[in-house]
Amino acid sequence: MAEKLLEINDLKLYFNKGTANEVRAVDGISFDIYKGETLGLVGESGCGKSTTGRTIIRLYNATDGEVLYKGENVHKAKNKAQLLKFNRTMQMIFQDPYASLNPRMKVLDIIAEGIDLHGLAKSKEERTKKVHELLETVGLNREHAGRYPHEFSGGQRQRIGIARALAVDPEFIIADEPISALDVSIQAQVVNLLKKLQREKGLTYLFIAHDLSMVKYISDRIGVMYFGRLVELATSEQLYNNPLHPYTKSLLSAIPLPDPIYERNRKRVAYDPASHQYTDQEDVKMREVTPGHFVLCSEKEYLEMKKTSSVTTE
């Protein structure tokens, strides 16, 4: 059994809590991430997936729940030494490669920020050498260190962002829609780079995206979010071959394929939240329908899914 690196227990993040304008961006979600794997987190815009990533890394303070990293509660880290230790092991790659880099800083100093903060270079020469090695690791040249962000394309900027995240030798990286702002031809290059770095450095990823086909390509397991809640969690194969939650089925039906005949006959599955409401008396929670395949459902729905799944696998 793989080592459990991250454990999320009933995590909540509410904005304007207790007011008429309360927004439950993350509403009691739980999942684990194991060392060396990539967990994909998908859902439509506004479902809370990016907020989940930012809460895990403590860019937002959780309203309730736990984020345990190697058994330690991230949100209970109080002093500077504890925070620095945590920040070194967990890094984030941001969605917008244009806004996430300081336009007034050279690439050398952008990448070296973490090196400086954690005292990872004993001299200016060692600092520069580390940055040059990082640039080459992500497919850029050491000559790029003396340039400013505006001199690069979107794909190159995202590589700089990846180099910055790698600078402190993290174990876990949250990639928050790292390819959504890039051209399709560049997206594959960035994802392949992430997979290559994972193999070479033993990294663990939380890969947040709304492109289901790309998430399937990079992820070992996938969690589906809807309105702040996790509605389904399974391996990539399980989720794509046997989706169980109506919302997941709707998402998968929207994926286009480069096949004209298929596209002419493809039928979209509409998800109507009104037809999937629960009463206050119903026990709605994540239930394991088949080994490793969890769905947010009531007891009645669980028994029906269990019955259907057993017929499907026979």
CATH of the domain at 94: 3.40.50.300
Structure tokens at 250: 């709707």
Residue-range definition of the domain harbouring residue 49: 4-103+152-234
Half-sphere exposure of 271 (CA within 13 A, CB side): 17
pLDDT digits (tens, 9 = 90+) for 30-60: 999 999 999 999 998 889 999 999 999 999 9
In a domain, 132, yes or no: no
Assign 71 to helix, strand or coil.
coil
Q: Are 92 and 173 in contact (CB under 8 A)?
A: yes
Q: How confident is the model at residue 310, as a pLDDT?
A: 63
In a domain, 124, yes or no: no
Per DSSP (E only), the strands in 70-157 are 72-73, 90-93
- How many Å apart are CA 276 and CA 84, to the nearest integer? 44
198 CB-side CA count, 13 A? 22
CA dist list (Å): 9 to 30, 74, 86: 5, 12, 18
Q: Is residue 275 part of a domain?
A: no
39 CA to centre of own chain: 7
In 254-298, where does DSSP find H-type helix? Answer: 260-265
Within a domain: 90: yes
Residue 248: inside a domain: no
Query: How many domains, in total, are found in the chain?
Result: 1
Q: What is the spatial distance between Cα 209 and Cα 191, in angstroms, rounded to a whole number?
A: 12
pLDDT (tens digit, 9 = 90+) per residue, 250-307? 998 888 777 788 778 878 888 888 777 777 767 889 999 999 999 999 998 999 998 8
| Whether pLDDT at 168 is above 80 | yes
Residues 6+ apart with CB under 8 A from 108: 128, 131, 145, 146
| Any domain includes 130 | no
Query: Is 191 among the domain residues?
Result: yes
Mean per-residue pLDDT, 99-120: 93
Domain assignment of residue 259, yes or no: no
